[in-house]
Amino acid sequence: MIVTIRLNYMTSNKNINNKNKNNHSKNNIPAHSVDTRELALEMLIEINERGAFSHIVLRSVLDKYQYLSKQDRAFMTRLVDGTIEYMLQLDYIIDSFSKTKVRKMKPFIRNLLRMSVYQIKYMDAVPDSAVCNEAVKLAKRHKFAQLSGFVNGVLRNIARNICKYRVEKLIETTDELVKIIEESIPKSKQKDGHPAKRTFQAIRIEVNNEIKPLYYTVLNSIECLKENGRLCIITFHSLEDRAVKNAYIEAQGHCTCPKELPYCVCNYKSYGKIINKKPIEATEQEKEENSRSKSAKLRIFERHEKK
């Protein structure tokens, strides 16, 4: 596949300065310096909007602009690679701060914002104000002067909020965590007991590594059953319920024969059958009388030696 890159506008650019003419007079070097951000942006448009391969685009640009300093080349490479790598996150951030969604923006503006937010978020050495100023300049230079205010507004807003996020401290006490959870869950969803209840339950399950052992305990318990014996397990958390359900499915086993076969030949291992596909829950009346039964789920497995 051949990729051509349209960089012709670069040479007619008014902002290109000619001061470095003397330094670059050797080795067929063009008599002007280029804006590395502009080059990076052009590459991003080529890759994101026209489907070019990033490594091919990068290599051909680096080949063409061999006279660029090592730092400039590294900056451009990181900017292009990083923006592509983190594009989903960058788009999410932009969408949170812009009324116009990323996919509805003009390709130039969309990629300009992505590239700029990448610098704000991931390149600490570049001051945020420089990122905003350069982005505005680029927009104006490319006849998007009417959108330069929009670009500036979105970027400054993102820069401010990312700074705020950076200075926020680590969560050190359970009280701090409770406060954050209370603020994060809408009041309308806080009816079901304390809002932090589920979060703490989830943390406990994770810290104690409760799920994997539960899964194997269920499998071992089934093996211990007598013929026609039943194992009935009540869980109080969806993660526990899922572990029990998966263990039951594993114990029941399933046929792996092709559908065309008239009968089973795979001889799969089965320890019995699942009695209720859907878990049994408490009745409305019981939930009313006993709030702890609200999250209870009962699953039953019956032991059968496979014939």
225: contact with Zn ion by CB under 5 A: no
CA 169, 171, 174, 179 torsion-angle sign: positive
Among positions 31, 133, 264, 305, the unique one binding Zn ion when judged by CB under 5 A? 264
74 lies in the site for Zn ion, by CB under 5 A: no
Nearer to Zn ion, 171 or 264 (CB): 264
One of 3, 205, 219, 255 touching Zn ion (CB under 5 A): 255
Instruction: Say how far apart CA 181 and CA 35 lie, in whole Å.
Output: 46
Question: With respect to Zn ion, which residue has the nearer C-beta, 78 or 273?
Answer: 273
DSSP 265-294: -S-----EEES-SSPB---HHHHHH-GGGG
Q: Which of 21, 213, 266, 276 binds Zn ion (CB under 5 A)?
A: 266
Give me the amino acid identity at 179: K
233 in Cβ contact with 218 (< 8 Å) = yes
Using the minimum distance from each CB to Zn ion, give the nearer residue, 232 or 264: 264
With tokens 């992505």, the residue in question is 114
Structure tokens at 264: 């089973």
Binding mask 32-71 for Zn ion (x = CB under 5 A): ----------------------------------------
Exactly one of 62, 219, 234, 257 binds Zn ion (CB under 5 A); which one? Answer: 257
232 or 266: whose CB is closer to Zn ion? Answer: 266
Which structure tokens are listed for 241? 């319920």
Q: Which stretch binds Zn ion (CB under 5 A): 140-148, 214-222, 240-248, 254-262?
A: 254-262
Tell me whether residue 180 or residue 255 sits nearer to Zn ion (CB atom). Answer: 255
Asked whether 226 and 255 are in contact (CB, 8 A), the reply is: no
Helix (H) or strand (E) holding 135: helix 128-141
- Please tell me the distance from the alpha carbon of residue 117 to that of residue 78, in angstroms, as a whole number: 13
Query: Closest CB to Zn ion among 130 and 264?
Result: 264
**Site of interaction with Zn ion (CB under 5 A):** 255, 257, 264, 266
